Amino acid sequence: MAITMRKRVEIFIDGLQNDIVTALEQLDPNAPKFKRDAWTRAAGGGRGLSCVFACTPEVGQTTSTLQTKLEKAGVNVSVVHGMLPPAAIKEMRADHSTIPYDGKTSLPFFAAGISLVIHPRSPFDPTVHANYRYFEITEQAGEGEQAGRVVAWWFGGGSDLTPSYLDEEDTKHFHTTLKDACQNDELYSVYKKWCDEYFFIPHRQETRGVGGLFFDDLSDEKHARIPDDVERPRQPEEIFEFISRLGTAFIPSYIPLLQKKRDIPTDHHRRWQLLRRGRYVEFNLVYDRGTKFGLKTPSARIESILMSLPEAARWEYMSELGTLAGSEEERMISVLKNPRNWV
C-alpha cells in the first residue's frame, strides 16, 4: 500500500523537529533541556508535540540568572483533523476553486505542520522563525473508507531572520543557504519578495526583519502570486521535495550564526533588543495570519500559539534609539525600511 502524502509530511516534520531540538540542545549543553509537551486535540482529533525552551526565574525573581545561549524558543509540531465550516471554505475557495461550496455543508480537513521561533539571549544573535505545513480538504468518507476523495491540497511555509543589530555576513549566509535549497533562482526571488511584503509592519513602515522566504497555497492550481512563466514544482511529490529541502536547510542556515563569537553586550544593546522585540510582538498579534487564525479556532492551544512571542519586550514613547545618524541602531532601521537583495 502506497504511503499517503499526509503520512509522508507527518514523518518528515516529526524527524525535522527532533533534529532541530537536538542541534539547539547540543549548542548549549549546560543549559536546561527543552520541555517536551505532547498533547491531543479533543475537538475533531489530532495530536502534537510542543518543544519549548525557557529558564524559569527563581522564587522572588522576574528573570532567570542563568546565562544560556537561548532566552526563549519553541519548536512545535501539530497534526490535526476535523470539520471545516462553510465560512472557512468560502474564504479558501479564493485560492482553491476545486473546493465544493453550497453555503451550508462542512468538509473534512487535515493539517500538519512544524512551526518554530528562536529568541537568543544576546542582542547580537538574531531571532529566527520557520514554518512548513500541508493542508488537505476531502469529501465526506464513504462507508468503509478512512478518508474521502481529496478535493484540494496545498503546502505553505518559509523561514525568516530578525536581528536586532545588522550583521551582513549573517544575513548573506542565511539567504544563500535558502537560495541554494530552492535550486531555482527565479523562484527564490519570488518567495523572497513575498517574504519582505508579508513581514511588513504598516503602522511602523518597516519590515519585521531582514527576510528570507515566504509562500502559501502551493499546489497544481494557477497561483495568484506566481507568474505562469516561472518554473516551479506543481505536483504533490515535487512540492513535498521542495519543502523537505527547505526544512532540512534550517539547521545549516541558522545554527552557524549562534556558534559565532560575539561581543559582550551592554545595557544599551539590551534596551535596543527589547525595543525590537516589541516590534516583533506588534506584527505577530496584529498582522500574522497564523496567529490570528489560531486565536479564532475553537479549542485551540493558546500556549502553543503564543509560543512565538519573546519572553520580554519594551515600548518607549518617542524613543531616540534608531534615530541617531550613523549609529548601529539607525543602520538596522535603514535596512528595515529599505529591504535589500542579499544574494
Residue 227 is which amino acid? Answer: P
Closest CA to 126 of 180, 76, 71, 205: 71
CA 224 to chain centre: 22
Count CA atoms within 13 Å of residue 273 on its CB side.
20
The residue behind cell 547580537 is: 124
Give the length of the chain: 343
**Active site includes 129?**
yes
Residue 58 is which amino acid? Answer: E
Which run of H or E residues covers position 135?
Answer: strand 127-138
Alpha-carbon distances, residue 153 vs 52, 97, 244 (angstroms): 30, 11, 17
Which residue is catalytic, options 119, 129, 223, 269? Answer: 129
Alpha-carbon distances, residue 286 vs 123, 198, 290, 317 (angstroms): 24, 13, 11, 19
Report the DSSP pairing between strands 127-138 and 150-162.
antiparallel
Report the DSSP pairing between strands 35-40 and 46-54.
antiparallel
Query: For residue 206, what are the β-bridge partners?
Result: 201
For 93, list phi and psi in degrees, rounded to 5. Answer: -65, -15
Active centre residues (catalytic): 129
